[in-house]
Amino acid sequence: MGMVERLGGGTSGVTRKTSFPPVVDTSTRVLILGSLPGDASLAAGRYYAHPQNQFWRLLSPVVGVDLPTLDYSTRLEALQAAGIGLWDVVASATRPGSSDAAIRDATANDVATLIASLPVLRVVAFNGGTAWKAGRGLVRGVEMLALPSSSPLHTVGVAAKQPAWDAIGSYLRHS
């Protein structure tokens, strides 16, 4: 599970944050990679836990389920039933607060090994520019899709982001 570790002494120590384990199974067709969970997510032990993060709203029309109204475990089950998996590009990093711009001393998750273990994976989608920049070099042999960030810090409205997120649906259909 993701965690926060204080490095150094007192209040001036640097905070090292760790990502969550992947949420995938052998039916994962779309893998969505974020950068690193924010403080609200780390505190809650859940992906995209900040109430203003638009992730669950953006994926609702893609999977045909009103995800924000469900409890967390049911949300994850709905994503997996649709063929969507989750993980992060960054395994751990130092970062004060939740801004991707503040990520330092990052170590990457082993995205290539995870991808190799997913037999029907069709695309890796990156949630935001930081995930795209840090993760695109880790992906081989599968399509990639850059998505506008679901973060409330990316102030473009949901309506402007939705068409890009809707594109995920074409990878979920069996062909």
Opening angle at CA 56, ends 143 and 102, nearest 5: 75
Would residue 53 show up in a list of annotated catalytic residues for this protein?
A: yes
Distance CA 80, CA 24 (A): 7
Distance CA 19, CA 109 (A): 9
The secondary element (H helix, E strand) that includes residue 2 is none
Per annotation, catalytic residue among 53, 127, 150, 151: 53
- Residue whose tokens read 């995800």: 67
Which structure tokens are listed for 61?
A: 């029309």
Opening angle at CA 141, ends 31 and 1, nearest 5: 35
Q: Considering only CA atoms, which of 22, 72, 34 is closest in space to residue 153?
A: 34
Instruction: Return the active site residues.
Output: 53
